[in-house]
Amino acid sequence: MKNADGLGGAVSDNVDYCPWVTWPKPWIAYPQAITEPATDVGTTTVRLWGVVEDDGGEACQYRFRYKKEGDRYYHLYWWGSVTTGQSFNWNLSDLSPGCRYYFSAQVRNTASASLWGNEESFITLPEAGIAVLLLAPNGSEEIVAGSTYEIIWETTGTMESVLIEYSTNNGTGWTTIDTIGNTGSYEWEVPNANSQECLVRVSCPGRPSVNDTSDDVFTIFQCSGIIPGDSNGDCYVNFLDFAATAECWLNCGNPFDPDCQPL
Ligand SMILES: [Ca+2]
Ligand SMILES: [Ca+2]
């Protein structure tokens, strides 16, 4: 059903619908089409819609073009017979799950084909069983800017890579951290932010509907100074530092001291 050459199908092209009139008929004007939102969006299927805004004076044929995000347009067959105000649709199948697609509608009469109508988009449903779950940070963390934080996630189903992003304004804007193999964790060099409205999002590249976000906001803060005793650099002196000190109790690094217990 696809015509990648954009020339339309053989079924209905080059047919003179009114052979008794010399083409083009002088009273026929250019038609106009409007693209309408898609319906019945499934994992691999969808129904595209358009409406004839102005048939230009005679019944029109219609067609659609569509493309996956980042790909080129496929042009479908010219088909049907519709007049001003009538809507038309086309069922697509064999789409990729969890992907964004763009499409637009076009109509034509014996005078001319219309310009392509406005572009609409839809996202197919993710493949059943494909999911990602972000475990950390999942909300309420207090993370010092410039430190290293381990982002942790789990996936079900086959997902070869993941896109990791963060937001410092509760999801209004997102900044890419990295796209990496699906290893389940990532050593994040925390940016120099100062915000209590931070989120992390992990998603399947090219399948934006397969994603998970921190369940609640967390904080990235800039430490106001170097604190003696903060051995792990998290801007707090607490039991974690004490535990780190206890673990290394009486270790030393003096090669001239025969009693030294190196690390
Ligand atoms: Ca979540
Ligand atoms: Ca500390």
Per-residue pLDDT tens over the stretch 77-117: 999 999 999 999 999 999 988 889 999 999 999 989 999 99
Q: Tell me, what's the pLDDT at 126?
A: 79
Question: Sorting pLDDT into bands at 50, 70 and 90, what band is 10?
Answer: very low
Q: Tens of pLDDT along 182-198?
A: 999 999 999 999 999 99
User: Which residue bears the tokens 């004076």?
Assistant: 57
For residue 191, how far is its CA from the centre of ligand 1 (angstroms)?
21
- Check whether residue 144 and residue 93 sit in a common domain: no
153 and 116 in a single domain? The answer is no
Residue 232 lies in a domain: yes
Which domain range does residue 136 map to?
Answer: 131-247
Is residue 256 assigned to a domain?
no
Using the mean position of ligand 2's atoms as its centre, give its distance from the Cα of residue 200 in Å: 23
User: Into how many domains does the chain fold?
Assistant: 2
118 and 138 part of one domain: no
Q: Would you say residue 263 lies in a domain?
A: no
Q: How confident is the model at residue 207 (pLDDT cuts 50, 70, 90)?
A: confident
Whether residue 258 lies inside any domain: the answer is no
Does residue 262 lie within any of the structural domains?
Answer: no
Residues 119, 177 within the same domain: no
97 & 27 share domain? yes
Determine the distance separating the centroid of ligand 1 and the alpha carbon of 101, expressed in angstroms: 26
Same domain flag for 24 and 111: yes
Is residue 98 within 8 A of residue 210, CB to CB? The reply is yes
Q: Which of 94, 204, 124, 201 lies closest to 160 in space, CA to CA?
A: 204
Label each residue of 29-63 as H, E or C: CCCEEEEEEEECCCCCCEEEEEEEEECCCCCEEEE
Instruction: Over range 225-242, report the average pLDDT.
Output: 89
Among 123, 158, 192, residue at a domain's last position: 123
pLDDT, residue 175, reads 97
Q: What is the CA(243)–ligand 2 centre distance, in A?
A: 10
Q: Identify the nearest ligand to the CA of 237 by its number.
A: 2
Could you tell me the distance, in angstroms and rounded to a whole number, from the CA of residue 225 to the centre of ligand 2? 13
The CATH number of residue 68's host domain is: 2.60.40.10
pTM over 0.85: no
